[in-house]
Amino acid sequence: MAFGMMDGYGYGMSSGMWILGAIFWILILAGLVLLIKYLWEGAGTKGAQESALEILKKRYAKGEINKEEFEEKKKDLI
């Protein structure tokens, strides 16, 4: 007895290949999402660095330097 494409093992192979193809594309999409997330977060940390003026303002606000020192250093930065 001869089996056609939809009979016996032929049908099982095509559905198995479809599942493997779907898993492949899901893994590709998940990898792309993770790559984009990694690149997005990496760019965010680079931009999050404080400028020298912001650090100087914080030091003045904490009382680490007085007004004269603040103004003098601010002139140097600007």
Task: Please tell me whether residues 37 and 63 are part of one structural domain.
Answer: no
Split into its structural domains, the chain has a count of: 2
Is the per-residue pLDDT at 41 higher than 60? yes
Task: Please tell me whether residues 77 and 54 are part of one structural domain.
Answer: yes
pLDDT for position 77: 85
How many H-runs (helices) and E-runs (strands) does the chain carry?
Answer: 3, 0
Range of the domain at 60: 49-78
Instruction: Note whether residue 65 is domain-resident.
Output: yes
Query: Would you say the pTM of this structure is higher than 0.85?
Result: no
**Neighbouring C-beta atoms of residue 34, cutoff 10 Å:** 10
Instruction: Note whether residue 3 is domain-resident.
Output: no
Is the per-residue pLDDT at 10 higher than 70? no
Identify the sign of the CA torsion 14, 16, 19, 23. Answer: negative
Residue 34 token pair:
């993770």
